[in-house]
Structure 1
Amino acid sequence: MKIFTAEQLYEADKITIKKNKIASSDLMEHAATQVFTWIHSRMQGAPVPIHVFCGIGNNGGDGLVLGRHLLQHGYKVQVYVVNFSDQRSEDFLLNYNRLKDAECWPTLIKGEGEFPKITKDDIVVDAIFGLGLNRAPEGWVKALMQHVNDARAYTIAVDVPSGLYANSAPDDMEAVVHANMVLTFQAPKLSFFLPETGKFLQSWEVLDIGLDPEYLNATDVTMQLIGKQEVLPMYVPRQKYSHKGNYGHSLIIGGSFGKIGAVSLAGKACLTTGAGLVTAYIPECGYEILQIAVPEVMVTSDPGKRQIADIKFDMAPTVIGVGPGMGTDDQTRNAFAEFIRTNECPLVIDADGLNILAAEKELLESLPAKTVLTPHPGELERLIGAWTDDFDKLEKTKAFAKKYDLVIVVKGAHSVTVCDQKLYINTTGNPGMATGGSGDVLLGMITGLISQGYDPLQAAVFGVYLHGRAADIAVNDTSYQGLLASDIIDYIGDAFIDLFKRPEPPVHEEEGKHE
């Protein structure tokens, strides 16, 4: 699914109005009617008090249209105009008069002493600010938004929660409405998926408001939301007369005394994702452990007894995954650096491999094109430096990926794959994945996909999706707290099978996902 910028959505509005020869108020009527239909289909006339808070721009105009429809269908509704300025949009004024013609007189709120009482059993509709907001709400308007939040009523935001921007971080994190549901127009917004801003909404759903499909289809975007529909075309089925040699030979390099489990997880995940053969390159201390733990993985031991000391092997792997449990001992750092300088094989790098790269950045110049890096936030910061907010983090990651021609998976609640100045935002996963070893499993999965012939970007995007989907299926049996990294491996096969099941209803819970 495409994620558009605010500017692209404004352009879509203009083109839709021009091509269909309609007034902007007609588009507003249609959009707000979609919001009403969503609410009405669920409430079915229930006598629950509904408070509709309207700003004085077009988002407020949407709220006025909604209030009119709710009133005409017998709902117990009160409409408020947040009267913070004398300037009003034309469509707001038009619908303000239409609402009065329907014998509903909105309550004007002009200051803090005029806030209505809201109980936790009420419903609030937030239509104060939309995509046009360009500065943080202040004074009594900010206090009103905090009043809404403090009420803990079920809150529905129209298009975006007030105070939240589409493409940048809020100037004031305390001046944002907390929404239980966001009914967003035509496409979700980037801010819904980043840790600092995604926390302001629990769920979201896209409402098709009829923006010009030709423009939407033809417009190039730099952000894509990745779900089943997007990854299914990537899937390459196996041929009947194939054999293990057709699916590549993956090499997993890593491990140190006490951390052989990381390589075990990566190797097993690599095989379970479909690699034809997997060999683990580990220090001598892990030889027997790995042979017993994952008998399907072949093992080559390094001269180092407790850590990697000299990376040399006599095989020709299809792809190499390096870093899990490897440590950053001086011998290991020297061996890793020499390996990077001479290697020409496709790479996936995680964990201590990333930490060594961050400490010796000159090695980045020696990485093969489209090497996949899979950092968690701490590892990413060591690579690219500090950032001011999540949007700045992504911009710096894009610049870093472009400079070194990399594919970077920014792990988190919605892992974002960055490549060629584009963002691929994942939709699968859950809080149970915040457990040791999840990253090792992801490294193995991406390595296994490259081994089978997927290009690095496809392998990263597809691997992140399958990783999260396997965990989503697993938690039905394990719970969030009980999920182990090894459980994710056990459900990789189910994640593949799930690709061909009917899609789930398009309601998106944003309760936090971790990888």
Structure 2
Amino acid sequence: MRTLLTSAQMRSADQFTIVNKPIASLDLMEKAAKAFVQTFLRDEFDTNKSVAIICGKGNNGGDGLAIAHLLLANGYENLKIYIVNFSKKQSDDFAINLQRIEETRCKKTIVNQASDLKNLKADLIIDAILGSGLNKPLSGEFEALVQAINKLNKKVYAVDIPTGFFAEGKLAKDYNGIKAYKTICFQRPKINFFFPESAMATEKYEVVDIDLDEAFIQKQEADFYLVEENDIENILRPRKLFSHKGTYGHALIIAGNSNTMGAALLSSAACLRAGAGLITACIPQGGFTALNATLPEVMALPRDEYTRIGNPKKYQAIAIGPGLGTEAENEKLLESLIMANQAMIIDADALNILGERPDLIAKIAANSIITPHVKEFDRLFGEHDNWWDRVQTAAARARKQKIIIVLKNQYTFICLPAGKVLINPTGNPAMAQGGMGDVLTGIIAGFVAQRYSVTDAAILACYIHGKAGDYLAHEQFVVTASQVAARISKEIKVLIST
């Protein structure tokens, strides 16, 4: 897992590296500038374009000046620097890099007020005004300056973080900072880049290595961690000789209704391809033909208004909810399992039932996994007007109830009983199609059935689900849930063979 640090912790990592590498802070700034420029030149290789670099007088501005020096050396002759002079304070490294720029042919303008930018004309803008230490919204001349930049409607590259954006913490709906095309950030992504509100500040981001001390960073106590592919490779277990269907467990999928049998089929197919040895689908009698025709490997258990799961402990995994319906008989079935202290994977309509039964939410068994999307989550735990608070609530509830909450989004947050939040990086907008959650539920059930821990099952399922979608999205504008389900086993094979 890659440790994600707060802005204060990243400054500590800078200082630790400077002292223990050892390396001068100015040389570290130069490393950052080189890493930025290397990525920038890959994107913007036409050196005939004009570039405006807008620099504050702190270390972010010092980065901007170092970047200007390197762009000049790489053939960008139509380049101009704007120094934002809203404060007398300046960092030492900024002052040194400013002196270096004075010795070049680069044009320079002092910006004493936002209106001084009115004559700015450039194809590209590099934002190096304010760094990651900001903890309150922009105001005064800084706000006016940023609004003037945004009104230019130019392609903006932000140095480490867009000016006005918070690296972590609650993000306001009325964001008034830089709206960047791309942020090139140093060593680690900012935690808030994984929240949907970040789309207001940057369309995309890329992380560049500036050779900070990784051992120090990984040792830091953190609340957020980024799942990486090597984590998945380390968790996955190859199938062994002499194993049989019983080795890989029995999963029960309680899903589907008269009009939503597709959800049951998708979950069952995903569970099958994730590797469960036996699968039983608890579905309405009217769905048997569809199940037998589509998934002959999956057994059927008829579900009616009197259904109770006899001896649920014989199943290594029970998933409930996809396409289930919220009828009274399904509510009674869910309640009976919860009251029996049965750990489950709970999704979709089962979550909708819980949204109307807050008395049952607190009784969900430890080691259960619930997989809400944003609306389902807020129905369960109250309305939230921002994602930071929503994830904090999810982390607190996971810790309190000893369950795992998989809060689904572009980046899925896996909230663990220990209080940590793991961020899954795979998946893409092409997967914004119905049935994707049903597939994810099936994959989780498949791994739990194989006796992976519930934590490992959630990590594996989220990563592989998104990875399958990423593979398919290379050649398709949209990706369907059926296609993702069909791809799961192949992705597992690729990961386990690496």
TM-score calculated relative to the size of structure 2: 0.93
Residue 34 of structure 2 is matched in structure 1 by: 33
Distance 2:388 2:369 in 1: 21
Distance 1:161 1:134 in 2: 13
Q: Which whole-Å deviations, capped at 9, do the CAs of 1:403-462 have from their partners, x for residues lacking one?
A: 111111111111111112111111111222222111111100000011112111111111
The answer (yes or no) to whether the contact 2:254–2:321 under 8 Å persists in 1 is: yes
Distance 1:232 1:388 in 2: 37
Distance 2:101 2:177 in 1: 27
Q: Secondary structure of 1:409's match? A: strand
2:399 to 398, 402, 408: 402
Shift of 1:501: 8.0
Residues 402 and 8 (structure 1 numbering): CA distance in 2 closer, same or farther, change over 3 Å? same
Residue 506 of structure 1 is matched in structure 2 by: none
Q: Secondary structure of 1:287's match? A: helix
Residue 461 of structure 1 is matched in structure 2 by: 459
Alignment of 1:204 with 2:200, yes or no, is no
Residue 176 of structure 2 is matched in structure 1 by: 175
Shift of 1:90: 2.5
Shift of 1:384: 1.5
Q: Which whole-Å deviations, capped at 9, do the CAs of 1:114-170 have from their partners, x for residues lacking one?
A: 115556x71211111111112222244323323333334332111111111111234
Distance 2:74 2:250 in 1: 65
> Which structure 2 residues correspond to residues 292-311 of structure 1 after superposition, within 5 A?
292-304=293-305, 309-311=306-308
The answer (yes or no) to whether the contact 2:237–2:496 under 8 Å persists in 1 is: no
Distance 1:160 1:501 in 2: 37
The answer (yes or no) to whether the contact 1:428–1:465 under 8 Å persists in 2 is: yes
1:91 to 90, 93, 109: 93
Residue 357 of structure 2 is matched in structure 1 by: 360
The answer (yes or no) to whether the contact 1:311–1:336 under 8 Å persists in 2 is: no
Residue 422 of structure 1 is matched in structure 2 by: 420
Sequence identity percentage: 35
**Higher deviation after alignment, 324-333 or 145-154:** 145-154
Distance 2:356 2:8 in 1: 39
Shift of 1:364: 3.3
Residue 217 of structure 2 is matched in structure 1 by: 216
Alignment of 1:165 with 2:159, yes or no, is no
> Which structure 2 residues correspond to residues 124-163 of structure 1 after superposition, within 5 A?
124-163=125-164
Q: Secondary structure of 1:491's match? A: helix
Alignment of 1:411 with 2:412, yes or no, is no
> Which structure 2 residues correspond to residues 179-190 of structure 1 after superposition, within 5 A?
179-190=180-191
1:325 to 308, 323, 326: 323
The answer (yes or no) to whether the contact 2:278–2:298 under 8 Å persists in 1 is: yes
Q: Secondary structure of 1:366's match? A: coil
Shift of 1:198: 3.7
Residue 79 of structure 2 is matched in structure 1 by: 77
Q: Secondary structure of 2:355's match? A: helix
The answer (yes or no) to whether the contact 2:246–2:277 under 8 Å persists in 1 is: yes
Distance 2:128 2:284 in 1: 60
Q: Secondary structure of 1:428's match? A: coil
Residues 299 and 178 (structure 1 numbering): CA distance in 2 closer, same or farther, change over 3 Å? same
Q: Which whole-Å deviations, capped at 9, do the CAs of 1:364-384 have from their partners, x for residues lacking one?
A: 343332211000101100111
The answer (yes or no) to whether the contact 1:370–1:405 under 8 Å persists in 2 is: yes
Q: Secondary structure of 1:381's match? A: helix
Residues 61 and 437 (structure 1 numbering): CA distance in 2 closer, same or farther, change over 3 Å? same
Distance 2:51 2:15 in 1: 32
**Aligned letter for 1:49?**
S
Residue 18 of structure 2 is matched in structure 1 by: 17
Q: Secondary structure of 1:459's match? A: helix
Residues 358 and 403 (structure 1 numbering): CA distance in 2 closer, same or farther, change over 3 Å? farther
Distance 2:55 2:133 in 1: 14
Residues 38 and 326 (structure 1 numbering): CA distance in 2 closer, same or farther, change over 3 Å? closer
The answer (yes or no) to whether the contact 1:169–1:197 under 8 Å persists in 2 is: no
**Aligned letter for 1:350?**
D
Distance 1:97 1:363 in 2: 66
Residue 480 of structure 2 is matched in structure 1 by: 484
Distance 1:41 1:409 in 2: 36
Q: Secondary structure of 1:203's match? A: strand
The answer (yes or no) to whether the contact 1:81–1:106 under 8 Å persists in 2 is: yes
CA RMSD of aligned residues (A): 2.2
Shift of 1:500: 6.0
Distance 1:230 1:488 in 2: 21
Distance 2:279 2:465 in 1: 19
Distance 1:37 1:205 in 2: 12
Distance 2:21 2:490 in 1: 46
2:437 to 433, 436, 439: 439
Shift of 1:42: 5.6
Shift of 1:319: 0.7
**Aligned letter for 1:341?**
M
**Aligned letter for 2:185?**
T
**Aligned letter for 1:240?**
L
Residue 492 of structure 2 is matched in structure 1 by: 496
1:393 to 372, 390, 394: 390
Shift of 1:45: 7.1
Residues 77 and 239 (structure 1 numbering): CA distance in 2 closer, same or farther, change over 3 Å? same
